Chain A
Amino acid sequence: GAVVSQHPSRVICKSGTSVKIECRSLDFQATTMFWYRQFPKQSLMLMATSNEGSKATYEQGVEKDKFLINHASLTLSTLTVTSAHPEDSSFYICSVKAGTGRETQYFGPGTRLLVL
Chain B
Amino acid sequence: DQQVKQNSPSLSVQEGRISILNCDYTNSMFDYFLWYKKYPAEGPTFLISISSIKDKNEDGRFTVFLNKSAKHLSLHIVPSQPGDSAVYFCAASEGGQGAQKLVFGQGTRLTINP
Q: Which residues of A contact B (CB under 8 A)?
A: 4, 9, 32, 34, 36, 41-46, 49, 93, 95, 97, 100-103, 105-110
- Say whether A43 contacts B107, CB under 8 Å: yes
List, in ascending order, chain A residues with CB within 8 A of B32's CB. 102
List, in ascending order, chain B residues with CB within 8 A of A101's CB. 97
- Say whether A110 contacts B43, CB under 8 Å: yes
Contact of A102 among B2, B42, B99, B105 (CB under 8 A): B99
List, in ascending order, chain A residues with CB within 8 A of B9's CB. 41
The residue on B at minimum CB distance from A49 is B100
- Say whether B97 contacts A105, CB under 8 Å: no
List, in ascending order, chain B residues with CB within 8 A of A34's CB. 100
| Interchain residue pairs with CB less than 8 A apart (9) | A9-B41, A43-B2, A44-B104, A46-B102, A102-B34, A103-B46, A107-B43, A107-B45, A110-B43
Query: Is B22 an interface residue when CB atoms closer than 8 A count as contact?
Result: no
Q: Which of B89-110 contact A (CB under 8 A)?
A: 89, 93, 97-107
A36 and B67 CA atoms in complex are apart in Å by 28
Query: Is B80 an interface residue when CB atoms closer than 8 A count as contact?
Result: no
Which applies to chain B's interface (DSSP): helix, strand, loop or mixed?
Answer: loop
Q: Which residues of B contact A (CB under 8 A)?
A: 2, 4, 9, 32, 34, 36, 41-46, 49, 89, 93, 97-107
A60 and B98 CA atoms in complex are apart in Å by 21
A41 and B99 CA atoms in complex are apart in Å by 27
How far is the CB of A59 from the nearest CB of chain B, in Å? 8
- Say whether B41 contacts A109, CB under 8 Å: yes
How far is the CB of A93 from the nearest CB of chain B, in Å? 6
The residue on B at minimum CB distance from A59 is B101
